[in-house]
């Protein structure tokens, strides 16, 4: 496993907020964005990443290797670990985060993700009998690995905050990290994002989104 570690300190968090489904989210002043939808953090994550992503991929592959671009609070990893334990299906999970939140910030949330933030960077940890977890403090642009992922959670901040992470070139980079027929899911459905995915050899599907989000994307690598 090769990757370039970025020498960033823990990311400053400026606000904690309850979302409409009762789960909390954090606000980042650096990107001027919430980490999860204020209309329901759990509802959004379960719809985009668990239902359209993990459940769908578990039907297509015997064992699943997940790459999360934008590990953030760790909520998607937590829900994935819970789903693996529930279904007794084996998953290997790699989370990328260039600007990690602090352990203290993670403990302010009303869902328990502290275990994910306590583990060392770059060290594989067994969260439960079915879920192996590794996190990397690096950008997607600098990440390299021999692993081929069959599911990607693409959870970068939106193009208004991180336009460099929604280009054709970056999706080509993601495609190089994936298996044939691999699955990518994301909350962002902007037209030019869809066009960039298609140009990077993905077949793009539009699906109904969570509350206040008309549609979200699932893309299959050709």
Q: Which 3 state secondary structure label does DSSP give 148?
A: coil
Domains, the chain, with CATH or none? 2-8+41-221 (3.40.50.150)
pLDDT string in tens for the chain (222-residue length): 333 333 344 555 668 999 999 999 999 999 999 999 999 999 999 999 999 999 999 999 998 999 999 999 999 999 999 999 999 999 999 999 999 999 999 999 999 999 999 999 999 999 999 999 999 999 999 999 999 999 999 999 999 999 999 999 999 999 999 999 999 999 999 999 999 999 999 999 999 999 999 999 999 999
Alpha carbon distance 4, 18 (integer Å): 35
pTM reported for the whole predicted model: 0.93
Token pair in block for residue 139: 């950008």
Provide the 8-state DSSP code for 174: H
């Amino acid at each position: 496993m090769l990757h370039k570690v970025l020498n960033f300190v823990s990311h400053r968090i400026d606000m904690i907020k309850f979302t409409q489904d009762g789960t909390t989210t954090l606000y980042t002043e650096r990107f001027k964005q919430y980490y999860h939808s204020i209309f329901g953090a759990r509802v959004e994550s379960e719809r985009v990443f668990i239902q359209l992503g993990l459940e769908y991929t578990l039907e297509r592959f015997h064992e699943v290797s997940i790459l999360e671009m934008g590990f953030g609070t760790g909520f998607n990893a937590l829900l994935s670990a819970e789903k693996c334990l529930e279904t007794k299906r084996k998953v290997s999970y790699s989370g990328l985060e260039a600007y990690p939140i602090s352990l203290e910030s993670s403990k302010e949330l009303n869902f328990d993700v502290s275990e994910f933030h306590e583990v060392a960077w770059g060290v594989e940890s067994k969260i439960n009998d079915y879920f192996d977890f590794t996190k990397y403090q690096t950008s997607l642009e600098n990440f390299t690995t021999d692993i081929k992922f069959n599911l990607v959670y693409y959870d970068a901040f939106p193009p208004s905050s991180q336009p460099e992470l929604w280009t054709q070139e970056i999706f080509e980079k993601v495609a190089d990290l994936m298996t044939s027929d691999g699955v990518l899911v994301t909350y962002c459905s902007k037209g030019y994002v869809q066009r960039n995915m298609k140009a990077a050899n993905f077949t793009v599907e539009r699906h109904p989104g969570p509350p206040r989000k008309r549609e979200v994307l699932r893309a299959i690598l050709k």
